[in-house]
Amino acid sequence: MLLIDSIHPLRVGLKAAALAASVLMAGAAHAADDATTAPTWTFGGYGTVGVVHADTSQADFTSSILKADGAGYTHRWSDTVDTRVGAQVGASLNKQWSAVLQVVSEQGLDKSFRPRVEWANVKYQVTPDLALRLGRISLPMYLAADYRKIGYAFTFVRNPIEVYNAIPISSSDGIDLTYRWHTGSIKHVGQLFYGHNDVRLIDPFRAKSRALAGFSYTAESGPLTIRVSAMTARLTVNIAEDLFDAFRQFGPAGAAIAERYAVNDKRTTGFSIGATYDPGQWYISSEAGHFDARSFFAATTAAYATAGYRWGNFTPYLSAAKIYSNDPTTSEGLPPAALPAQLRPTAGYLNAALNGLLTTIPVQSSVTAGMRWDCMTNVAVKLQYDRVRPHAGSRGTLINQQPDFRSGQVVNVASAVLDFVF
């Protein structure tokens, strides 16, 4: 079974999924305890194969803003929205030292399925309750942070994109410290982390974060699990640099606009809180998060709630999600009336380009209904319907919007996937 170096998993969804996640996530931690003097090795993997249909021709529905296309405009039926495969190898040298390498292949912004190193770290178990890791580590934001790419580990076809797309990166390069303790029947896990991240977008664009630091705290008591996380970073994304350089040519007013919206070493903060209650026959789960990039990415708040009922190997579920902007989604830009006549057309063009950029701020609500069927050991089939409505002039979480795209129109999305672990 797959070796995953992470904290004990949170209860989410089906018993079978929770059991698989427990094995997947806790393997490396226990392997080190079982090792003697000889190194031990483990290998495993996971994957999702799926198709998605969206009834729009004005934009693409997708699972991540870090994908090139999806269902709708580019493909009426898309097999790239959820499809991915991951493999992992772990090594335990003794009771103190272990290492893990995980590689994931899924569509990127360049349309390729080039494998990416998701995790690559060395762990030192200082004491049975205190551990130190160095390398590429999962970013501990949200309930499913430690297994957000393992579709089999949760009930949904995909984690609610309104919440999880707010922080699309899933790992960081650096160091973390994890400590476990108990108070009565409550299990506690505290985690501190520090690092950086460099994501290649479409050449020559990159998203870089430095001084990426934060904490995560998890409490588990019987069927209840609660997780709180927070992070901060200095973010630089070299998108729209030419636009903001052009604004700066208009003096102090243009420079102020560029300073407000450019993503140039901006202090970025994120916070999330989530809880799940899973007594066995049924479960409920909810998360909320706030992300502030202090740029054209804006400040957004998102939340979802879901519930499911287990009926043999079948689990029907319902969910609702919403994301909205705490900042204005339009800008007056440069005041053309205050400019010389010959500069007004240019100012109008720049203002229109800026407001086009601001339509990427996600404002959206959705409702979801689905069914999971655990058809055999370590294999699950899921069917899901989403009713997605971007509004307030936003494209929501859709990508590749076309000139005839109209915010406020409902997009109906149907998904079918097969999840597996080995």
Alpha-carbon distance of 203 to 150, in angstroms, equals 28
Residue 44 has which token pair?
């495993």
Q: Rounded mean pLDDT of 62-88?
A: 97
- Would you place residue 374 in the very low, low, confident or very high pLDDT band (cuts 50, 70, 90)? very high
Sign of CA dihedral 80, 81, 83, 85: positive
For position 2, what pLDDT does the model report? Answer: 38
390-400 residue pLDDT tens: 999 999 999 99
Q: What is the DSSP letter of 363?
A: -
What is the pLDDT averaged over residues 247-272?
Answer: 97
277 in Cβ contact with 298 (< 8 Å) = no
Instruction: Say what the pLDDT of residue 382 is.
Output: 98
- Alpha-carbon distance 331 to 21, whole Å? 45
> Rounded to 5 degrees, what are φ and ψ at 410?
-80, 140
Specify the range with the lowest mean pLDDT, choosing from 18-27, 180-189, 298-307, 354-363. Answer: 18-27
- Given a cut of 70, whether residue 413 has pLDDT beyond it is yes
Strands 40-54 and 411-421: antiparallel
- Residues 6+ away with beta carbon under 8 Å from 78: 51, 52, 53, 54, 60, 62, 69, 70, 71, 72
What is the average pLDDT score of the chain? Answer: 92
Q: Which two tokens stand for residue 268?
A: 């970025």
Does the pLDDT of residue 8 top 60, yes or no?
Answer: no
Residues 193-202 pLDDT 10s: 999 999 999 8
Question: Which tokens hold the place of 134?
Answer: 């160095």
Reported as a single tens digit per residue, the pLDDT across 320-339 is 999 999 999 999 999 988 99
Helix pair angle (241-248, 251-261), 10° resolution? 150
CA distance 269 to 175: 19
Place of tokens 């309104």: 162
Q: Could you report the per-residue pLDDT of 124-174, keeping only the tens digit for each?
A: 999 999 999 999 999 999 999 999 999 999 999 999 999 999 999 999 999
pLDDT of residue 253: 96
Provide, for the chain, the percentages of residues in helix, strand and coil under a 3-state DSSP scheme, each rounded to the nearest 5.
Answer: 15, 50, 35
Residues 246 and 343: their CA atoms lie apart, in Å, by 12
**Top CATH class, 50-78+128-149+157-421:** mainly beta
Domain boundaries defined on the chain? 50-78+128-149+157-421
- pLDDT beyond 60 at 6: no
Which tokens hold the place of 264?
Answer: 């140039």
Taking the C-alpha atoms of residue 169 and residue 180, their distance in angstroms, rounded to an integer, is: 26
What is the pTM (predicted TM-score) of this model? 0.89
Phi, psi angle pair for 100, to nearest 5°: -145, 145
Q: What H or E segment, with its residue span, contains residue 172?
A: strand 171-183
Strand partners for 353: none
What is the pLDDT confidence band of residue 39, given thresholds at 50, 70 and 90?
confident
Q: What is the pLDDT of residue 37?
A: 61
> Does 45 or 31 have the greater pLDDT score?
45
